[in-house]
Structure 1
Amino acid sequence: MLVSRQAPLQSFNTFGIAARAAALVRVRSEQDLRQALAAPDLAGLPRLVLGGGSNIVLATGEVRAAVLKMEVPGLRVLEQTARHTIVEAGAGESWHGFVQWTLAQGLPGLENLALIPGTVGAAPVQNIGAYGVEQQDRFHSLDAIDLRTGRPFTLDAAQCAFGYRDSIFKHAPAEPGGLGLAGCAAILRVRYALPRQWRPELGYLDLQRRMAEEGVAAPTASQIRDWVVAIRRAKLPDPAVLGNAGSFFKNPTVTAEQCRDIIAREPQVVHYPLPDGRVKLAAGWLIDACGWRGKRMGNAGVYEKQALVLVNLGAADHPATGGEVMTLAKAIQTSVYERFGIRLEPEPMVV
C-alpha cells in the first residue's frame, strides 16, 4: 500500500483539473484496501474511490478525503457455460485494454464499447454504454469490499440495479442498512458473460454508414471495434491532448407528448423512441441549438466538434478549475431549460 499526503490529482483525472487530496492510497490488491481501511492515520478521513478519473469533476482545489486509487490488475478466462464464456478483470485494468484482450482471445461481445476511457472497476458504477450496447448487457457479477465494515460481497446484475448511466453505486443509502452503495463500496473485480453465439449489434446509423462505405455486409467483431474506435476519435477529443470527461450530460428522456410539443416548436430535434413509449432526446443537439458549441467561460469550454463535451482549454500549468467547469455546465443547463423546458443532468460525478 502506497500512501501520499497532500497528493496532486491533476494527472489522475482526465479533465486535467488541478486539485490535491488529503491522502492518496494506491490500491493494487485486496490486502492493500484492507490495510487502508484499518490504518489509524486515515480513519478520520472520508473515502473517495477513484478509477481512471475519466468520469469525475473535481469542483474544488482541495479533496478532503482519502482517495482510494483502484489499480487492482488481472485478466483471465474463468469458465465456459452452454451459452457464455465468463471472463474476469481486475478493477484497475483499462476498459479499452480489456476489450482488446477479449477480442484477442477470440471472445466477441464488448466491441461496441471500445475506446471508452476509464477502468473496468468504474464500468458498472456508470453502466457505460455506446453504439447500442451497455455493459449491463454482458455483465455477470462483481466482487467488492464494504468500506464501512471491511466485509467482502458479490453482486449480480439484478443486485446492481443498472439503469441508464446508473447503478446502485451512484445512490446513497436512504438510511443505515439501505440499498444504496454510493461512497460505501470499492469494486475489486468484475466478470462478464460473453455470448458463444455472437451476433453483431449494428443498429446505430454511424455503424450502418461504415458498413455501406466499406461494402461489408457481415462485419467481424474486430471490424466493429475498429469502426467504433475511428468514429469515437473523429467525434471526441483525446483526453491526453485536450482535457475532458467525455459526454458531460445524460441524454434526457421525455414522454411522447412532451416530445411532440418540442417537435412542434423545433422540428429538427434529434430524438429516439424507446420501447416503453418514452423518447430520448440528444442532449448534444439541445446544447448546440442553444448556441454553446465552441463557446468558453474562463478556461472551460464546449468542444467545437461535439457540444455534449466540455473541455479544459487552459495550459498544463494553468488549467481550467473545477469552478469554471461547473459554472459553464450550470449556464448550459439554464439555457436548455429556458428554451426547451428540459433539465439536463450531468453524467460525471462532481466532487
Structure 2
Amino acid sequence: MLPIQYNFDLKNANTLGLAAIASHFLLLSKPGQLIELSQSPELKALSRLVLGGGSNLVLPEQINALVIGVALKGRRLLREDDEAWYVAAAGGENWHEFVAWTLAQGWAGLENLSLIPGTVGAAPVQNIGAYGVEVKDCLYELTAYSLADGHTQVFSAAKCQFAYRDSCFKQAEAGKWLIGEVVFKLSKSANIKTNYGDIEQELAALAQPSSASAVAQAVINVRQRKLPDPAVIGNAGSFFKNPIVPSGLREQVLAVHPELISYPAGPDHYKLAAGWLIERSGWKGRQLGPVGMYQQQALVLVNHGGATQSDVAKLTAAVQADVKEKFGVELEAEPVWW
C-alpha cells in the first residue's frame, strides 16, 4: 500500500513559505513506488508534480494533483580514471551537503555552487549556477524515472539540452520525469574559478591560499551576507534571471547609465545584472502587499508573511513593468510556477 497523504500542507515544503495544500502527496523513498502508482486505478488519472527542496517554486493555494516529494538517498564514487572522478548522488540528496561531501573527499569542481538550496535531482532541471559555474559544467549523465509508468531513461549532458537556467526538463520534457540519480564528472585538474563577483575579495579577507575548499568558504560567506535565510524570511533565492540582451541594447543603456553591470554572453550579446536593474528601478527594499524585494539584495523576492501566489504574481509584474519602462529590458522570473 502506497503511503498517500491527503490534503497535505506544503507551506513548510516551499522556501517562499506560501500557503499551499496538495490534494494528494507521496514521499517517494523507492523508485519502484512509481510503478505502483501506474497500477493504481485511484491515482493513475491524477496529474503528477515533483517536489524537491521547494526552493525554486511559486505554489498556488490549492493543488489538485499528486505531489511527489523526492526522498531518494545515496552518494558514491562510481569510478575514476586518469582525468576525473565520476561521482553519483541520488535525487533526494541535499545539494549543499553533497557539494561539501565532494570537497571533503578532495574532489573539486562544485565549490562555486556551495550553499545553493535544493536537491541534487532539482539541480539539472534549473541548470543551477553561481559565481561563473553551472551544473552543466560538471554533469556527466543522469537517470530519470518516467512519471507515467516508472521506466528509466539515461540522459547524457548533451541530451539534457542545457542553457542559461534551463534544460529539456523545463521545456520539451517538462512534467514527464523524476530525476533519480545524477553522475558528475569532477576533473582531477580542476580549474579554480575565483574571478567572479566578490570571491577574490572574500578570499583575500580569509587570507587563505586559493583552493577549492577556500573558494567554497568564500562563496558561503558571500551568500550568507547577501541572501536571507528562508528559515527567517520566506524567499526563493534569486527571483529573476540576469537578462541576456543584444549588444545594441546594452550600448543604449550604457549611454544613459555608464555604471551598468554587464558581462559578455556570446557573439554580440551581454548578460546584464538583474539586481542592478531592479535596484535602479526603485524596488530594492520596496514592498507590495505581503511581498517585496529584499532590502539587502534587490534580486531576491521575500514573503513578509501570509503571501499567496497571487501576491507574488502582482509584485513580479510590477517589477518587470518598471524595469521595462526605465531600461527597455525584459526580465524573466526564474522559479517554476505551478
TM-score, normalising length from structure 1? 0.94
Task: Work out the number of aligned pairs and report it.
Answer: 337
Aligned position for 1:344: 331
1:215 is displaced (CA, Å) by 4.2
Aligned position for 1:70: 70
Aligned position for 2:167: 167
Aligned position for 1:285: 276
Counterpart CA distance in 1 for 2:40 and 2:297 is 45
- 1:205-255 alpha-carbon deviations (Å, 9 max, x no partner): 411112333444x41211111110000000100111111001111000111
Counterpart CA distance in 2 for 1:96 and 1:32 is 27
- 1:125-180 alpha-carbon deviations (Å, 9 max, x no partner): 00001111101000011001122343210001000000000000001xxxxxxxx1
- 1:69-97 alpha-carbon deviations (Å, 9 max, x no partner): 11100010100022110000010000001
Counterpart CA distance in 2 for 1:26 and 1:276 is 45
Counterpart CA distance in 2 for 1:38 and 1:254 is 48
Q: Percent identity?
A: 45
Task: Say if 2:125 is the partner of 1:134.
Answer: no
CA root-mean-square deviation:
1.2
Q: Is the 8 A contact 2:202 2:222 kept in 1?
A: no
* Match 1:300 to one of 282, 291, 314: 291
Counterpart CA distance in 1 for 2:134 and 2:79 is 22
Aligned position for 2:100: 100
1:103 is displaced (CA, Å) by 1.1
Q: Is the 8 A contact 2:25 2:67 kept in 1?
A: yes
Query: After the TM superposition, which of the residue ranges 37-46 and 127-136 deviates more from structure 2?
Result: 37-46
Aligned position for 2:190: 198
Q: Is the 8 A contact 1:50 1:68 kept in 2?
A: yes
Aligned position for 1:176: none
* Match 2:217 to one of 226, 231, 234: 226
Q: Is the 8 A contact 1:27 1:68 kept in 2?
A: yes
Q: What letter is aligned with 1:77?
A: L
Matched ranges for 1:1-351 at <5 A:
1-58=2-59, 60-171=60-171, 180-216=172-208, 218-314=209-305, 319-351=306-338
1:117 is displaced (CA, Å) by 0.1
Q: Is the 8 A contact 2:264 2:271 kept in 1?
A: yes
Q: What letter is aligned with 1:272?
A: Y
SS of residue paired to 1:199: coil
1:62 is displaced (CA, Å) by 0.2
TM-score, normalising length from structure 2? 0.97
1:107 is displaced (CA, Å) by 1.0
Gaps of 5+ in 1: 172-179
SS of residue paired to 1:324: helix
Q: What letter is aligned with 1:207?
A: I
Q: Is the 8 A contact 2:234 2:302 kept in 1?
A: yes
Q: What letter is aligned with 1:235?
A: K
Q: Is the 8 A contact 1:2 1:27 kept in 2?
A: no
Q: Is the 8 A contact 1:87 1:193 kept in 2?
A: yes
Q: Is the 8 A contact 1:25 1:36 kept in 2?
A: no
